[in-house]
């Protein structure tokens, strides 16, 4: 693998090294394209690697891609784009098998995948790699990309995108100043903006500091269309105490494996496995009406009663979460934990078609930067899936576009 590009011209330029950018880069590279993968800081830095809970795909005997699609449409309150949802759910099983071929070892039990039911889902559909699913997926994709001929441009922050003679010209801020890359096609995979948005609002966020959203603005300036950009998602279960866990996203799988939300009186006040927006709103309302609790440092919260999780489920599917809390002096299997919603995900983004092409010819988008697949309210586990399904599609289509 070359770390220094031999030229500033490539067939395909991918911007961003999260799951979607890596999937696109692997896919374009395997299609035979000369690929450059540019990323703001290091190759490892992204939100995707922080994802713990899992990835959805209809593998259960009582499940199907159609039922998965119905769950997505219902959770989005009818705002998701049906054509994109159909692609997402029908290609989900193949995407899982592709990840397995690249080395991702999904947790298994009783001869099949260990499937959990996540918020808004009517079936058990969430595959997991313990509770480090995003880490496992990004590592496998990185290894696959680095084993090929693709180039890595680390510490390249995109600052501008402009049409060129035979494609697009991308300008970057680098450690040494600035650089420009020409490409027949570009895949934008630079994620969402919830870290920056939380800073502006003075709130906590689960996001990586690189989630600042400037690439969406750059695409807008180049003429791309966006949708649902105002629809930001709160993760219902941000860690609220101890202070070292503030902003930590307590995996939704805690609730899939039996944890429930309780108010100050110990009463359950909502369906703990409802869609994310409904559960977050129920917590906000409970606190608003004075039935919440207060953390030792004065923050609003409710209880997540994790003591109901069976030891075996916790050890198989929540080991990282347990380690983090126990390391901070709290055993979630012995006592409930403080939780409050925290800014987590950008639901909307660049308008794309089924091939992941934006409204700009030769510019593709995948992952959190793209809009439509989740409408205004994403279900848990569908983002890593979107990254894989549409990342693969974007990489392949970009390679074809670069040669056309
Ligand atoms: C804590 C946490 C837990 C989650 N858990 C789950 C889960 O269990 N299941 C699930 O499906 N989803 C989960 N999600 C959501 C999901 O992980 C993300 O939405 C998804 O991985 C985003 O992938 P991405 O490739 O679009 O962006 P990211 O992974 O955020 O990657 C974006 C990349 O773009 C780079 N970049 C940014 N700006 C620029 C620039 N100007 N120039 C160049 N590069 C740039 C960044 O450095 C980064 O490499 C979770 C998210 C978080 C934060």
pLDDT, tens only, 204-244: 999 999 999 999 999 999 999 999 999 999 999 999 999 99
Q: Is 342 in the pocket of ligand 1 (CB under 6 A)?
A: no
Active-site annotation, residues: 276
d(CA 30, CA 146): 12
Q: Whose CA is nearest to atom 49 of ligand 1?
A: 17
Q: Is the CB of 254 under 6 A from ligand 1?
A: no
Using the mean position of ligand 1's atoms as its centre, give its distance from the Cα of residue 23 in Å: 12
- Ligand 1 centroid vs 290 CA: distance in angstroms? 35
Distance 264 CA to ligand 1 centre (A): 34
State residue 5's pLDDT score.
Answer: 45
- Any atom of ligand 1 within 6 Å of the Cβ of 16: yes
Torsion of CA 74, 76, 77, 78, to 10 degrees: -80
Q: Which atom of ligand 1 is nearest to the CA of 253?
A: 8
pLDDT tens column, 250-264: 998 899 999 999 999
207 lines ligand 1 (CB under 6 A): yes
**Do 20 and 366 contact (CB within 8 A), yes or no?**
yes
Q: Is the CB of 38 under 6 A from ligand 1?
A: yes
From 47, 138, 218, 348, mutation site for ligand 1 pocket: most ligand atoms within 8 A of C-beta: 47
Percentage of the chain beyond pLDDT 90 is 92
**Interval 18-68: pLDDT, tens:** 999 999 999 999 999 999 999 999 999 999 999 988 999 999 999 999 999
pLDDT in tens, 85-110: 999 999 999 999 999 999 999 999 88
130 pocket-lining for ligand 1 (C-beta < 6 Å): no
DSSP 246-287: TT-B--THHHHTT-EEE-TTS-B-S-TTS-HHHHHHHHHHHH
Number of the ligand 1 atom closest to the C-alpha atom of 52: 8
| 258 neighbors 250 (Cβ within 8 angstroms) | no
pLDDT digits (tens, 9 = 90+) for 305-324: 999 999 999 999 999 999 99
Beta sheet of 349-351, edge-to-edge order = 226-227, 349-351, 370-371
Question: Is 50's C-beta closer than 6 angstroms to any atom of ligand 1?
Answer: yes
For residue 367, the ligand 1 atom closest to its alpha carbon is 26
- Whether residue 346 contacts residue 374, with contact meaning beta carbons closer than 8 Å, is answered with no
Pocket test for ligand 1, best of 26, 45, 46, 381 (most atoms within 8 A of CB): 46
- Indicate whether residue 158 lines ligand 1 (CB < 6 A): yes
* pLDDT class of 170 with cuts at 50, 70, 90: very high
The DSSP line for 220-239 is HHTT--EESTT-EEEEEEEE
Residue with the nearest Cα to atom 35 of ligand 1?
Answer: 16
Tell me, in angstroms, the distance from the centre of ligand 1 to residue 291's CA.
34
Ligand 1, atom 6: closest residue by C-alpha? 51
Nearest CA to ligand 1 atom 14: 51
């Amino acid at each position: 693998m070359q770390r220094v590009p031999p030229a500033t011209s490539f067939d395909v330029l991918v911007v961003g090294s999260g799951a979607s950018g890596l999937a696109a880069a692997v896919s374009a590279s395997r299609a035979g394209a000369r690929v450059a993968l540019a990323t703001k800081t290091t190759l490892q830095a992204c939100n995707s690697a922080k994802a713990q809970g899992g990835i959805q795909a209809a593998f259960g005997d009582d499940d199907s891609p159609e039922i998965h699609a119905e769950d997505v449409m219902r959770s989005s309150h009818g705002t998701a784009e049906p054509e994109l949802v159909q692609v997402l759910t029908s290609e989900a099983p193949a995407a899982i098998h592709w990840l397995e071929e690249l080395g991702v070892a999904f947790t298994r039990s009783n001869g099949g995948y260990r499937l959990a039911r996540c918020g808004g889902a009517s079936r058990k559909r969430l595959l997991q790699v313990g509770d480090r699913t995003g880490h496992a997926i990004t590592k496998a994709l990185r290894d696959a990309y680095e084993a090929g001929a693709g180039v890595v441009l680390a510490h390249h922050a995109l600052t501008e995108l402009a049409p060129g003679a035979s494609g697009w010209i991308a300008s970057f801020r680098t450690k040494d100043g600035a650089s420009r890359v020409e490409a027949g096609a570009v895949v934008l995979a630079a994620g969402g903006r919830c870290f920056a948005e939380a800073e502006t609002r003075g709130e906590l966020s689960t996001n990586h500091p690189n989630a600042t959203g400037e690439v969406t603005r750059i695409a807008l300036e180049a003429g791309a269309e966006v949708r649902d950009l105002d629809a930001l998602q709160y993760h219902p279960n941000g860690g609220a105490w101890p202070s070292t866990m503030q902003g930590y996203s307590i995996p939704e799988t805690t609730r899939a494996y039996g944890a429930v939300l309780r108010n100050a009186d110990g009463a359950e006040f909502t369906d703990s496995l409802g869609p994310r927006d409904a559960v977050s709103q129920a917590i906000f309302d409970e606190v608003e009406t004075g039935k919440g609790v207060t953390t030792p440092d004065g923050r609003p919260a409710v209880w997540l009663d994790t003591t109901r999780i069976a030891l075996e489920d916790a050890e198989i599917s929540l080991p990282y979460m347990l380690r983090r809390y126990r390391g901070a002096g709290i055993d979630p299997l012995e006592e409930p934990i403080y939780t409050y919603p925290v800014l987590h995900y950008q639901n909307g983004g660049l308008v794309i078609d089924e091939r992941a092409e934006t409204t700009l010819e030769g510019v593709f988008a995948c992952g959190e930067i793209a809009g439509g697949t989740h409408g205004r309210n994403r279900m848990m586990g569908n983002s890593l899936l979107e990254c894989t399904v549409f990342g693969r599609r974007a990489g392949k289509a970009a390679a074809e576009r670069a040669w056309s």
